[in-house]
Amino acid sequence: MEKVFRIKNKRWTIRFADAGDEHLLMGGEPCIAQLYKQLRIIYFDSDLLNDYAEFRETMIHELVHAFIMTYAISHKQFRDEEFICEFIAVYGDDILKLADELLEDLYPEEDED
């Protein structure tokens, strides 16, 4: 399964992989999600699809990384707590809206309730 979306008119892709896949290794250790900045691809462990709440939280976390990278925000700036608060205040609704849109496509049955 693959999902394409845009941040600031830049194409990003979500892909899923099985646990232990080479795309889900960080420093040689397994992880549940991994963002590839140069390719603008976010890989998620397929098992996350079985836990909506955990997947949503992980997706939002990765989307914040994607927004920071897309808007070319310096890591030095992001160490400042006030800057983090301002970043979320300015871009938080966009991040959450995009996460909800992506989740609607991935969980269409959730809309039928």
Residues for the chain: how many in total? 113
Task: Say what the pLDDT of residue 2 is.
Answer: 93
pTM, 2 dp: 0.78
Residue 108, classed as helix, strand or coil, is helix
pLDDT mean by block of 10 residues, the chain; 113 residues: 94 96 93 94 96 91 88 72 76 92 85 53
| pLDDT at res. 112 | 54
The one-letter amino acid code at 53 reads: A
Q: Exposed, middle or buried by CB within 10 Å (0-12, 13-18, 19+), for 9?
A: exposed
